[in-house]
Every structure is written in C-alpha cells, then in structure tokens.
Structure 1
Amino acid sequence: MKTLTLASLCVLVFFSDSVASGALDLLQDTAASWTGRLPCGGWDCECAFKGQQGCCCAAKPLFDLEEFTFMRMVGLWDGLSRLNSQINEVTAGCKIAFTANILPMTGCLGPFTSNVSISYQSVSLNQGNGYNPALGIFTAPHSGLYSFSFTAYSRVGDTDRLYQKMQLVKNGQVIASSWEDNREDSEDSSSQTVLLKVQRGSQVYVELLSGRQLCGDTQGSNAFSGYLIYPFTEE
C-alpha cells in the first residue's frame, strides 16, 4: 500500500496545483515517513518529499525532454534557414518585367542607312530596371526563361508604300521578325511573341531594318515588352 501511495505521489506532485492542499499534505507526510527505497522509477523524488518549492519528481525527465525538443527546434530552424537562403538565391531579383511604347508621332521613324535599335521611350513598367529606354535595349538582370513581345504598326498615305520590317534581336542574333511591303494597304500591324533562354547580361532589343520605316503611329501602338517566366540557377 505504501508503494502505491508513494508512486501516486510521484505523479500527483507534478499536478500539485490541482490537488487539494490537505490531500497533498497527507501524501507528503506519508512519503516522508517512508524509510525504504522510493519507488519513483528513477525520478528524483527527494526534492518533492522534502518540501522544496517549485520542484517535482519529473524534473530531470522534463529537463531532458526540454533539451531534446530545443535541440530539435534548433536543427529545424537551421534547416529552414538554409532552405530559405537557397530559395532566395534562386529567386533573388526575379521580379523582372517591362513594357514600353514608341512615343506618338505623325511623321515617320526612318528610313536609315543601317539597322537601328528602336527606342521605346514611353515606359509604363520596368520592374527590375532591365530596360534602358534611351537605347531601347533590355539587359537581363538574371538568367532564366523569358517571354518577349513586340508590335509593328505603320500608317502611310494612300499614295505611299507601306514598307516596314522589324526584328527581335538577342546579342546580335535575329530571333523573330515582322514585315510589310505593298501599296495595297495604307495601314497595318502585326505582333510577335517568343520564349527565350537568356543568360544574365544578355541584351534583347527590337531594330528597324535599313531602308524601312514606321509612320503615323499617333497612339503609341508600337510596343515592346518582356518578363521573366522562371529563373535559372546561376553557378
């Protein structure tokens, strides 16, 4: 019976706040009068039996559990920090997008004696600051898969020839083009959209070919835009 009483005490001391004061005193007195080995299963019950405040028989196991839990949390936090760093490394600077238009004009752009990159100076979006409106050139801030689009629009008089050709260029290489050469239409437009693998520092732009022209774009319909779809990890 004493063994059962002492074993019960080892549990009840842990929940001492919920045990009536008289019952707790009785259990403490009973335990204190015990002269044999305390049946606490390895718990340190001496402090509780001697009436030391703020102590319980489960102190060491609870401390060990707290230490184990803390170390696990430290390990998890370290793992999450490394993962967050890797995510930031992959996605850093990846909010990249731009769109710009040629300023409205009643006359013509061109013709020129050589191919000329078009300066789309009316910029409505330049997230990541990759687009330079003075040069009309987009320089990739981050490697990745990009989408680029451009619209070619021209309007000439009834007696003039619609004679335009524009092309999208990456690092000097022609990627896509749009052209019109006839006297049947006085107004026409077309658009191109391409997906490109682009390395950091690569330059993408639209150029007007030698001898061609864009005319009568009073609404700024000639546009150039691009955005990063997803980044590539840079080594």
Structure 2
Amino acid sequence: MKIAAVAVLVLLGALCPCLRAQVSTPVDILWQAAANWTGVLPCGGWDCDCVFRNSKGCCCVAVPLFQLEEVTFMHMVDLWKDLNSLNNQIQEITARRNVAFAASLTSITGCFGPFNKNVSISYCNVTLNQGYGYNQALGTFTAPRAGLYSFSYTVYSNVGAEGERIYHKVQLMKDGQVIASSWEDNREDSEDSATQTVLLQLKQGNQVYMELVLGRFVCGDTHGYNSFSGYLVYPLSDTVV
C-alpha cells in the first residue's frame, strides 16, 4: 500500500506544477511535488491490485492513463501497418523499374545482307538484359510493363576501301511501324556510322526491334559497333499509354 500511495503522489506531482521545487530532472520534480503534497488525495479506493486488473474503479488518474496507453498502442500498430504497406509498394515499384538491355552484333568480317526483304536484326552479343525483355534469337524487345522507354541504336559499316559503296539502311520498329531510320549511300568513305535515341510510350506486350531494309547491307564490323539498347525510364498505367 505504501508503494501504491507513492505512485499516486508521483502522479499528482505531474498535475501540480505549482509545487515544483528547483531540482535538476523531471523525475526529481515529480518526486518533490509528491513529497510536498499535504492535502487529501483527490481520489480514493486506490490499491495496487486494481491497477494491474485495469479496473474502472481505480484511482481517477490511473483510468485515463490506461486509456491513453491503449490509444497510443493502437496508433503504433496502425503506423507499423502503414509503414509495412508503404515499404511493400516501394519494393514492388522499384523491382518493376529494373528493365534494361544492351546488345550488339557479333563480329562481321564480311557483310550482313543484302536480302530480298526487310529482315529483323538479331543482336546476339547480349551484355545486359534486366527484366528479360530482350530476345536475342529474334532481336526483339517485348515490354514487360507499360511505361516510357528510351531506345538507342548505332549502325556502322566498313567496306574496306574508298570507292566501294556504303549502302545501308536500318529502321527502329514498333509492332511493324517505322519509328526512326538511318541510312547511307555513297562511295566517298570507306566507313560510316550513325546513332539515334528515341523515347517511346509502350503498353505491356508492345515489341520493338531493328530492321535491315531489303537490298541494303552492313559490312566489316569486327568490334561490335552495331548495337541496340533500351531501358524503362518510368512506369505508366496501361490506361495512360
């Protein structure tokens, strides 16, 4: 009972700032205020057993403290749930953004082409394929999710000597539609190259690939200069694209 009475006095100390002495810490202030209390306790029926049973008949100070404890605990539980949910959303969004690929043609000592029809270029030397959207057998990138994508390509040809004809044309294709192209037709240079970068909004399942136009050819690329790459800039909803 003495311990319980001291506890009540400590709590009362918190309610009576006018009784605070000049002490160094908040705990000391509470103890000093409780020790200086000389009046009748404002609530009776205090006993330790009722505190641990959280009985409604306890001291008037204990009841709101228990209520505050319960509310605080529930707020902490809700906050923890919200943090876990936010973390899961961040992980999901971050994982989906890991889409990128880079590939180049294997060494060409002769020429690739000409063909009697447009031919998809298979860049078989794959150095990056995050998200596994690029199919090296077909040379096709299939968007794993809707979003804004960046694509780059380089076309290079070396015919070996001046006076020989450089005659190439490649096209960046999206589901059979020409998006961009680069071409060269001259006998002034022994080698030539071009690079382009484009941004495309894609839906999930859209396909992007490079195409060599019929009758054209690229030659003498022994260093893998002919390349094709792309990455997801940021995801979008299919309803936005």
TM above 0.5, yes or no, is yes
1:10 matched residue in structure 2: 8
Question: The residue matched to 2:97 in structure 1 has which SS?
Answer: coil
2:111 matched residue in structure 1: 108
Q: CA deviation at 1:91?
A: 4.5
Q: CA deviation at 1:169?
A: 0.4
1:189 matched residue in structure 2: 193
Q: What are the residue-to-residue correspondences of 1:222-233 with 2, within 5 Å?
A: 222-233=226-237
Q: CA deviation at 1:94?
A: 1.6
Amino acid at match of 2:228: F
Q: Is structure 2 residue 22 aligned with structure 1 residue 47?
A: no
| TM-score (norm. length: structure 1) | 0.78
Change beyond 3 A, Cα 1:107–1:45: farther
1:124 matched residue in structure 2: 127
1:4 matched residue in structure 2: none
Distance 2:123 2:179 in 1: 19
Q: CA deviation at 1:185?
A: 1.1
Distance 1:9 1:101 in 2: 78
1:164 matched residue in structure 2: 168
Q: CA deviation at 1:77?
A: 2.9
Distance 2:88 2:77 in 1: 16
Q: CA deviation at 1:172?
A: 0.7
Distance 1:53 1:205 in 2: 72
Q: Is structure 2 residue 145 aligned with structure 1 residue 142?
A: yes
Question: The residue matched to 1:226 in structure 2 has which SS?
Answer: strand
1:3 matched residue in structure 2: none
Q: Which runs of 5+ in 1 are unaligned?
A: 1-6
Distance 1:97 1:220 in 2: 19
Amino acid at match of 1:131: Y
Provide the aligned C-alpha RMSD in A.
3.3
Distance 2:155 2:12 in 1: 80
Change beyond 3 A, Cα 1:78–1:9: closer
Q: CA deviation at 1:166?
A: 0.3
Deviations 1:157-211 (CA, angstroms, capped at 9, x unpaired): 3242100000100111110000000111110000000000011110000110000
Distance 2:67 2:211 in 1: 71
Q: CA deviation at 1:63?
A: 1.9
Q: CA deviation at 1:93?
A: 2.0
| Sequence identity percentage | 57
Amino acid at match of 2:10: L
Distance 1:11 1:194 in 2: 75
Deviations 1:79-105 (CA, angstroms, capped at 9, x unpaired): 334444544554542200000010011
Amino acid at match of 2:72: T
Change beyond 3 A, Cα 1:84–1:9: closer
Distance 2:131 2:52 in 1: 62
The alignment of Structure 1 onto Structure 2 pairs a total of residues equal to: 211
Distance 2:160 2:220 in 1: 9
Q: CA deviation at 1:142?
A: 1.0
Q: CA deviation at 1:54?
A: 11
Does the 8 Å CA contact 1:10/1:45 hold for their aligned counterparts?
no
Distance 1:150 1:9 in 2: 77
2:99 matched residue in structure 1: 96
